[in-house]
Structure 1
Amino acid sequence: METIRQMRRRNDYLSKVSAALLYAVCVSIAVNFFWTPGHIYSSGITGLAQLVDTISNRVGPVHIPVAAGLFIFNVPMFIIGWRRIGHTFTVFTFISVLFASIGIRLLHPVSVIHDPLICAIFGSALNGFGTGFALRSGISTGGLDILGIVIQRKTGHSIGRINLTFNIFIIIAAGFAYGWPYALYSALGLVVNSRVMNLTYTRQQRLQVMIITSRPKTVIDSVQNHLRRGITIIHDAEGAYKHDSKTILITAISRYEMGALEEAMDEADPHAFVSMTPITKILGHFYEPKL
């Protein structure tokens, strides 16, 4: 049994390192092939590193390149993650940021295309995919991601307002550095980055699930074997077509768990009626797996 656990842990670690490497490749290509040649700023700490790179290159006595700035500005986030989230999570976040810094440093900027609109869209899509995949694999890309996790766990709220304020600052800086059209292109890139990241990282999206079944005991056992979720039972429901007895089960899951739920339903009651509705807000305890 211990050998199986060790194998699972090793496979989990390998998948996290692979996700960190994929993120590093995506952000390195985004920075050096699209954002830098197109004069586009990213969001969060990466955008801050780009801004410091621009300012220090123009007026500063010491030039701080994007790769170095990305790592330096993430050091406080490593400390927060180590204390508030988890040691394993922080170690893999450190690995992902380190890989990204090395990748950006080693991969020299190449002007694939000069259109800033295309640079903003494709660079942000690449970065959004890499970031979302890393988060989905249980690691972070550093920066405001760590603050977001800490604030969400502590208050139940997202870091949206802080993120928005920080990114507005980056957009204004892009306007002063390269002209206001580039600020608009950077703003468009932020939207694309967010949308692609949300499509890739589904763990934070909540769904209310309603199951209508004639086999409630079997369904409950199967769902709870696959998912760590509470279930509310409503007895004495009646089907309008055959007037047969039904039971309604209600639970809440993350979109990331949809596959596990579908597998549980296929095992327990393939003929059950299941509907899923996006949840705007949850009050009360919603179990979050440890990272």
Structure 2
Amino acid sequence: MSEKVSAKVDAKKETKRILFGLIGAVIMAVNIKTFVRAGGLYPGGFNGVTLLFQTICDRFFDITVPFSPISLALNAIPAIISFKAIGKKFTVVTSCMIVATSILTDIVPAVPITEDILLISIFGGLINGAAISISLIGGTSTGGTDFIAIYFAEKKNKDVWNYILLGNAVVLIIAGFLFGWDKALYSIIFQYTSTQMIHLLYQNYKKVTLFVVTENAEAVYQAISEVTNHSATEFSATGMYSNEKRKMIYSVVSTVEAKMLTRKVMEADAHAFVNIVKTDTLLGRFYQENNY
């Protein structure tokens, strides 16, 4: 790839990163002012900690604290770690998104859509998860605990969103103890809905195992290599009904790659038999494209 083409690809990637990050920041800020604060919820992560701190200052000390300085202070340490461990461009753009979200949260007017706390919990969670997913798909994030999740996904190849959900329980216990357990329990619905939305929309780190029985093993392998940059393992096989010799290709790919790869495999061998199995645990060397 020439330097000119490479620069063009990089520019397109960074434009996408910034655009998706801005969209996520706007959605996150509007969601906080429209749903989260209207329901008195605590969304988890550093936004939840910030809102909890604001509420404590307001209720017990009669002090109104702006969202921005608290949020930025809490995100500072994870951002420094992310800069070193994940990627400079990713961290810089994410930091800009954190600033944008913080400022927008302070200036966007509060316009509650409904007073039904259950509807606020469910739809607020869905929108929150969508905002996080849009940012992640674009190659950035909304900051805070996203830094932690992406670090483990990149370095440890682990999905830790559910563990982060458990970690948020500490914030909810404090909120429940201080301000009533009803809001804390509704916040659990909010966070659970948000986490499931992320699992639905963002699938880059979900893995599947691909089994392909074929007569054209080399063409199938070339398709796997071109689409995913992964290698594969070839087994000799025999059809029990026909007693004909076949080859079975085994490979592990991401869920996103599997959709395109299945089409390519069938183009390489229209008579191939393809079986895709969900992979929960994977040990050993596995190529993971770094989008950060």
- The answer, yes or no, to whether TM exceeds 0.5 is yes
The DSSP-based 3-state class of the residue aligned with 1:233 is: strand
2:198 equivalent in structure 1: 197
Deviations 1:101-150 (A, max 9, x none): 12212212112111111111111101101111211222122111212233
* Number of aligned positions between the proteins: 290
Q: CA deviation at 1:263?
A: 4.0
Does residue 275 (structure 1) correspond to residue 279 (structure 2)? The answer is no
Query: Does structure 2 retain, via aligned residues, the 8 Å contact 1:20–1:134?
Result: yes
1:36 equivalent in structure 2: 37
The DSSP-based 3-state class of the residue aligned with 2:64 is: coil
Within 1, Cα distance between the matches of 2:154 and 2:8?
30
Matching of residues 110-129 of structure 1 within 5 Å = 110-129=111-130
User: What is the root-mean-square deviation in Å for CA atoms of aligned residues?
Assistant: 2.0
Q: Would the alpha carbon gap of residues 159 and 199 (structure 1) be closer, same or farther in structure 2, given more than 3 Å must change?
A: closer
Report the residue type matching 1:28 in the other structure: A
1:138 equivalent in structure 2: 139
2:255 equivalent in structure 1: 255
Within 2, Cα distance between the matches of 1:248 and 1:187?
46
Deviations 1:54-108 (A, max 9, x none): 1122234753333432222111111011111111111121122122112212212
Within 1, Cα distance between the matches of 2:41 and 2:11?
39
Within 2, Cα distance between the matches of 1:258 and 1:129?
23
The DSSP-based 3-state class of the residue aligned with 1:252 is: strand
Give the percent of matched residue pairs that are identical in Structure 1 and Structure 2. 26
The DSSP-based 3-state class of the residue aligned with 1:247 is: strand
The DSSP-based 3-state class of the residue aligned with 1:49 is: helix
Q: Would the alpha carbon gap of residues 109 and 11 (structure 1) be closer, same or farther in structure 2, given more than 3 Å must change?
A: same
Report the residue type matching 2:85 in the other structure: R
Higher mean C-alpha displacement, 91-100 vs 259-268: 259-268
2:175 equivalent in structure 1: 174
Matching of residues 90-129 of structure 1 within 5 Å = 90-129=91-130
Q: Would the alpha carbon gap of residues 223 and 165 (structure 1) be closer, same or farther in structure 2, given more than 3 Å must change?
A: closer
In structure 2, list runs of 5 or more residues that go unmatched. Answer: none
In structure 1, list runs of 5 or more residues that go unmatched. Answer: none
Query: Does structure 1 retain, via aligned residues, the 8 Å contact 2:209–2:251?
Result: yes
Higher mean C-alpha displacement, 274-283 vs 66-75: 66-75
Q: CA deviation at 1:162?
A: 5.5
User: TM-score w.r.t. structure 1 length?
Assistant: 0.92
Within 1, Cα distance between the matches of 2:36 and 2:161?
23
User: TM-score w.r.t. structure 2 length?
Assistant: 0.92
Within 1, Cα distance between the matches of 2:14 and 2:120?
33
Deviations 1:244-263 (A, max 9, x none): 32111111111122233134
Q: CA deviation at 1:193?
A: 0.3
Higher mean C-alpha displacement, 241-250 vs 88-97: 241-250
